[in-house]
Amino acid sequence: MPRPIKTAVFPVAGLGTRFLPATKAMPKEMLTIVDRPVIQVAVDEAREAGVEHFVFVTGRNKGVIEDHFDKQFELEETLAARGKNEQLEILASDLPQAGQASFTRQQEPLGLGHAVWCARKLVGDEPFALVLPDMLMKGAPGCLSQMTATYEERGGNIIAVEEVPHDQVSNYGIVGVGETLSDTAFSINEMVEKPAQNEAPSNYIISGRYILQPEVFAEIEAQKPGAGGEIQITDAMIRLMAHQSFYGVKFDGTTFDCGNKVGFLMANVAYGLDRPDIEPEFREALNALLKS
């Protein structure tokens, strides 16, 4: 029986330069999808999958993320005095329990692999989920829950994958398809970072969700920096494949890349239309805008 996934790592040290000037003083992870910060949506997905320990790898000027996952006594007292019980309940349900949220610093921007390595002491010798908050993966159940179902059957390492047109494979990390395990899962026999179209083993891209065994930390530590002086998680996973099994799970849902403006705007539309409290009015306003 595989050890359960109780810890998730969230790399949140990026500068968010593509969203300047909005991110000059506010972390990009705190930009809102309707009325919930991007990072909160990612945490919601992890919590749904059974995660109990949320590890945030932060950087300078990211203190507001830590504040978001803390109690705000003055705000709560004001809401209580005004009888705003619904808002109080939302704040309480979003708040991790004492000791469930941990924070560590990535002092230099040395790549995703390095950010994951910075969390090694907090993760310990346990399998963990890696969640890239920029990639909002909207599905029911959530992406990490879909992955956990395969993990509980197979163990090993799990990567969420999605298909892209063949002429776009050079923009992504690509996996090779091995044995078919089910309609939604297969073994991975190869990984290639941004291959030429005629060299790609498939058109399945490595998406923004992973379940990894703790041995990946040793592979990251032994890794030499690559292009731009960065340490990439894909290189560590490729070496780990020599010792452990990797499986791909086809994500059933829609992914929004909130690292770019169009993806962020589309996420707001999709999540807004999925909200019963605002959907009728929002849809009417959208239709009116599109007709103008």
- List the domain boundaries for the chain: 7-291
CA distance 114 to 40: 23
pLDDT band at 120 (very low <50, low <70, confident <90, very high): very high
- What's the mean pLDDT when you consider all of the chain? 93
The predicted model gives 30-42 an average pLDDT of 96
Which amino acid type is present at position 69? F
Does residue 227 have a pLDDT over 80? no
282 or 60: which leads in pLDDT: 282
8: nearest Cα among 140, 143, 128: 128
Does residue 70 have a pLDDT over 70? yes
DSSP-based three-state secondary structure for 159: strand
The predicted model gives 38-60 an average pLDDT of 96
Q: What percent of the chain has pLDDT over 70?
A: 99
How high is the pLDDT of residue 188? 96
pLDDT band at 61 (very low <50, low <70, confident <90, very high): confident
Instruction: Indicate the CATH number of 7-291 among 3.40.470.10, 3.20.20.60, 3.90.550.10, 3.30.1600.10.
Output: 3.90.550.10
Within 97-248, residue ranges assigned H as helices are: 112-117, 120-123, 143-154, 216-221, 233-240
pTM comes to 0.93
